[in-house]
Structure 1
């Protein structure tokens, strides 16, 4: 298989990408006051606005960039932990379209960004400290349990940060701890967005989400890490030098 990120950049890539930036980010600026207003009001209007924004992003990806989205396997719902490969900004923005109002583990630095962080908290993002002590860990797990009590699915990027397509780093050590403390089944998700979406100029093609088999809770650390690592990298063959 020849991945799109190995092809030369064409005028079409550049033009489609510029149009995508204008439409998506321009639309985001226009939507900003609506989000801010609905944050101050009770009810579901705020969440509906966030979902409209993420659906707008998916529309721009499909109809402007020419990227098809393929889903393999059943999409889970309810109180469980979805562990995803993380190759680009695409999946971070697309999660509310893919899953039913997911509660996502996010870096605490993002939740400290003015306005954006407040909106993320209101939606239900769960803050993760880079070097969290016992108190911060307890707070994170308490927030996660509250979200599962609401019937929401939890979403986590176990590699901790975006990884270029073709790289398979070990999982962050905190993932096994979250898995153990929450006692939830895990659904691993492989995807290959980095081949098309990473970098300034986006490329046409297909981004695939592949949902793996559900992994039960209570496994030893070595086993859960090995199974999740293998599953999330199923669409991400290691690059040869």
Structure 2
């Protein structure tokens, strides 16, 4: 019976979350059209509202470990659900996300994300997508701040294995900025698919920065070991059984672009 009640609470939460997105999108549309900061503030307010709703509607709380950066850098984060986008967004002073171009066509979400400075890429074009991403970042297609990327390119559930993409290494080599890895176990509570949301405390952990200037293969290996190792540890802490695995080899064998 408790599962059924939590499922219904999760369903109600999802409905309220998307209704709120529509209402805020309409109300704050003029603000977003006037200035990009209006879109960024709307995304911030929406993220904080959803986090608050999650606490009392489905019993999902959040904890931050480590220190979110306030300086210019890259954020390379584990991506397990829609919630990790919102939670990381509201922790950073000037976040910009690399996002799938397909999301531009999502009602409300696509417009506000792009207007707030997110950078769309067509990940299906591989090398061309990397060149386009680099060009957009360097051309100032968004305000300076923390550039957030998901190194695996998509949502990956706790314990699942997927290689780290060379686009992250391309940005690292081109921008010459430190990279802050971020681990999480939010997917244990908010899975990639399905309605059910599990109550508990999801953790976002900001790990030690990787300095600029190291080789691309060592960089990707260090990033993967850090993020996957910490995310697996957080998943186990939340009661999730993570299978024993070995790190996948980095894709990079030389200059990625």
TM-score, normalised via structure 1 length: 0.86
Aligned length: 234
The reply on whether 1:235 has 2:239 as its aligned counterpart is no
Q: Which has the higher contact order (CA 8 A, sep 6+)?
A: 1
* Structure 2: distance between partners of 1:114 and 1:15: 25
- Cα deviations across residues 71-129 of structure 1 (Å, max 9, x unaligned)? 11111122100100011111122232122231000011112445543322210001122
**Kept after mapping to 2: 8 A contact 1:79/1:152:** yes
- 1:133-185 CA-to-partner distances (Å, cap 9, x unmatched) read 76654442243245599441111100110011111322012221121111111
Give the drift of 1:47: 2.6
Aligned-pair distance for 1:15?
2.7
Gaps of 5+ in 1: 1-7
CA shift, 1:225, in A, is 1.0
User: In the alignment, which of 156, 165, 175 is matched to residue 163 of structure 1?
Assistant: 156
Q: 8 Å contact 2:11–2:195 — kept in the other structure?
A: no
| Cα distance, 1:147–1:24 mapped onto 2, change above 3 Å | same
Deviates more, 1:16-25 or 1:118-127: 16-25
Q: Which of 189, 192, 213 is equivalent to 1:196?
A: 189
Gaps of 5+ in 2: 234-241, 246-257
Q: State the secondary structure of the residue aligned to 1:98.
A: coil
Shift of 1:9: 7.3
1:78–1:148 contact (8 Å) kept in structure 2: no
**Which residue of the partner structure matches residue 83 of structure 1?**
76
